[in-house]
Amino acid sequence: MGGLPNINISFTTAASTAVARSEKGIVAIILKDAAANGVHILTSTSQIPAALGANNKAYIARAFMGYVNPPRKVIVYVEPATAENLTEGLAAFSAQVFDYLVGPPDITAAECEAVAAWIAAQRALGNVPKAVLPNSASNSEAIINFAAAGIMIGTAEFTAAEYCSRIAGLIAGTPFSISCTYAPLTEVADIDRLTKAEMDAAIDAGKLILYYDGEKTKVARGVNSLTTLTDAKSASFQKIKIIEAVDLINHDIRMISQDSYIGKYSNTYDNKCVLIAAIKDYFKGLENSDILKKDASTVGIDVEAQEAWLKAAGTDTSDMTEAEIKAANTGSQVFLKATMSILDAIEDIALNITI
């Protein structure tokens, strides 16, 4: 069997570049301003449009501060100052690829709801954007609910909305090898401080908060706004780091399958097996990069789903063996299932000292 060289090469390349791609994400920003309307693709602060207002320029600059790395780029869409509901900017970003979206520094509650709804709609289409929104209890793994207050930079005080771009840039600059938990914001002199019980309650409520440890301000824990857990979405889905990996895997498999497999080969059992082998190699590459737990990934034909399809198509499967069901003709459909274990970062340490 000759195999499918394009898809094998594509999955191998994607696995080998996964860590590098994770080190510098892309931040998308919607602004309102009387000048410089339209799309601006920036790779450094020196490219920030000079015609923008001072607050908008500072908001973009905060995104470039990053964490381990700055974002790879910041895509800015500037709406007219009189625009409402961010409709124009959201439409423009439908045609852009990015990791984290933020609204303007004066984003309203209604605009936060519009962004959250747009993110949900995009993810339903198979895309993987996320957003950082101020005080937005969206109950979604794709929405970061940034809920800090009284953010002091020198003598200037900032709201959560005014600092969302900083948080988006920080997360976008966090590699898969670590989480943004305890990431320091060295420029922040102080914040409205919470008690330990208040911080625990805020984190349990899906809020990304900051805390001052006596020397510096840092992210308390890298969580998203998801609070409703199900069998399909366990507590691990509340971690920003985990969702980053889930989204990377979903994006890679979807795009490579579209580009190198779908519509290009006959839907034979042999070709399905080659696709399975290619995905297995991809998972193995992620295991070798410490994104996935070693030797914990599987992928194969989803026998139950395939049998259900055959029955619906009028095939009597009562006397068919599992091997026959796997090898059966399923038209244009390919039914696969996979398991994996995404590695988290070290965040909680218990140390018992005996003297």
The C-alpha R_g of the chain, in whole angstroms, comes to: 23
User: H or E stretch including 87?
Assistant: helix 87-93
What is the strand order of the sheet 130-134 is part of?
38-42, 73-79, 26-32, 100-102, 130-134, 143-146, 207-208
Model confidence over 320-349: pLDDT tens digits? Answer: 999 999 999 999 999 999 999 998 876 666
* Separation between Cα atoms, residue 100 and residue 119, nearest integer Å: 10
Distances (CA, A) of 84 to 27, 32, 38, 74: 21, 9, 15, 22
For the chain, which domains are there?
A: 22-240 (3.40.50)
Contact assessment for residue 122 and residue 211, using Cβ atoms and an 8 Å cutoff: no
The type of residue at 335 is: F
* Separation between Cα atoms, residue 260 and residue 298, nearest integer Å: 21
**Mean pLDDT throughout 276-283?**
90
Higher pLDDT, 233 or 31: 31
pLDDT score, position 337 = 93
Taking the alpha carbons at both ends of the chain, their separation in whole angstroms is: 65
Q: For the chain, where are the E strands, in sequence order?
A: 26-32, 38-42, 73-79, 100-102, 130-134, 143-146, 151-153, 156-158, 207-208, 210-212, 217-219, 298-301, 336-339
Does the pTM surpass 0.75? The reply is yes
pLDDT score, position 1 = 38
Contact assessment for residue 181 and residue 349, using Cβ atoms and an 8 Å cutoff: no
Model confidence over 74-111: pLDDT tens digits? Answer: 999 999 999 988 999 999 999 999 999 999 999 999 99
Q: Is the pLDDT of residue 284 over 70?
A: yes
* Separation between Cα atoms, residue 296 and residue 278, nearest integer Å: 16
